[in-house]
Amino acid sequence: MGERPVILVLLGPPGAGKGTQGERLLRRIALDHVSTGDLFRDAVTTGSPAGLRAESYLHSGQLVPDQVVLQVIEEYLGVARGRDTCFDGFPRTRNQAEKLDDLLRQFNLAVTAVVYINVPDDVALARLLSRGRADDTEETARYRLQVYHEDTAPLIDYYRDAGVLIEVDGSGGVEPVAQRVWTSLQEAIR
């Protein structure tokens, strides 16, 4: 897109459609769509140092500690030099966001834009429950939304203060949301 690689972050509650909108962006622009889950699986498969550290947490079902998550991100950035990237579901906490900024600076990069897909809780809950996944019971979905509000929602102000937040109305169908994301993003990355 430009001389400096574009680094995007997709932000929003569970059920906002971050993964779906990330896939839509891939159809419009060439970028790496990066989820930490994919990075963990790749790191474990290749036997990287971070992958070896993450593996025990993944097999036990525990959350992977920030230090290991960031090591996996650092390994990715070392390999992906110069590629436009969209982080999906990362960072999840202010600490992760600050550490991501530090890592990006080491590679002479910075977050270009954060696409915040704003969806009311009732809509997010309905979407989570309609997916039909075994782990999306109402209790689990409500808990995930609670964790989002406690840990991840503060990133909205963090990125707004940094001047990179793009807020998009995430209600409605996939295509209208995708069009709003694309229109807003084009203005931000010019």
Question: How many domains in the chain?
Answer: 1
pTM of whole model > 0.85?
A: yes
Given a cut of 90, is residue 124 above it in pLDDT? yes
* β-pair partners for 85: 7, 32
Whether 1 shows a pLDDT value over 50: the answer reads no
Please report whether residue 143 resides in a domain.
Answer: yes
| pLDDT at 8 (0 to 100) | 95
Q: Is residue 184 part of a domain?
A: yes
**pLDDT tens-place string over residues 33-65:** 898 888 888 888 999 888 888 888 877 767 788
Percent of the chain's residues with pLDDT above 90 = 59
**Residue 113: C-alpha distances to residues 132, 145, 167 (Å):** 32, 23, 10
- The predicted pLDDT at position 11 comes to 96
What residues contact residue 35 under an 8 Å CB cut-off, 6+ apart?
A: 19, 22, 87, 88, 89, 90
Instruction: Report how far apart the first and last C-alpha atoms of the chain are (Å, whole number).
Output: 8
Provide the pLDDT for residue 80: 87
Q: Are 93 and 66 in contact (CB under 8 A)?
A: yes
Q: Which of 30-39, 121-130, 158-167 has the lowest mean pLDDT?
A: 30-39
Average pLDDT over residues 1-7: 76
| Residue 17 counted as domain residue | yes
pLDDT of residue 2: 52
pLDDT of residue 163: 96
Query: Is 57 a domain residue?
Result: no
Is 50 a member of any domain? no
* Residue 96: per-residue pLDDT: 94
Sequence-ordered alpha helix ranges (H) in the chain = 18-28, 36-46, 49-60, 66-79, 94-106, 121-130, 138-147, 154-161, 174-188
| CATH code, domain carrying 162 | 3.40.50.300
Residue 159's nearest CA partner among 120, 111, 117, 118 is 111
Show Cβ contacts of residue 109 under 8 Å, excluding neighbours closer than 6 positions: 4, 5, 7, 77
Cis peptide bond upstream of 176, omega within 30: no
Determine, yes or no, domain membership for 45. no
Report, as residue numbers or ranges, the catalytic residues: 18, 92, 131, 133, 144
The residue segments making up the domain with residue 117 are: 7-34+84-188
Q: Is residue 73 part of a domain?
A: no
| 74-119 confidence digits (pLDDT tens) | 989 998 877 999 999 899 999 999 999 999 999 999 999 999 999 9
How high does pLDDT run on average in the chain? 90
Q: Is residue 153 part of a domain?
A: yes
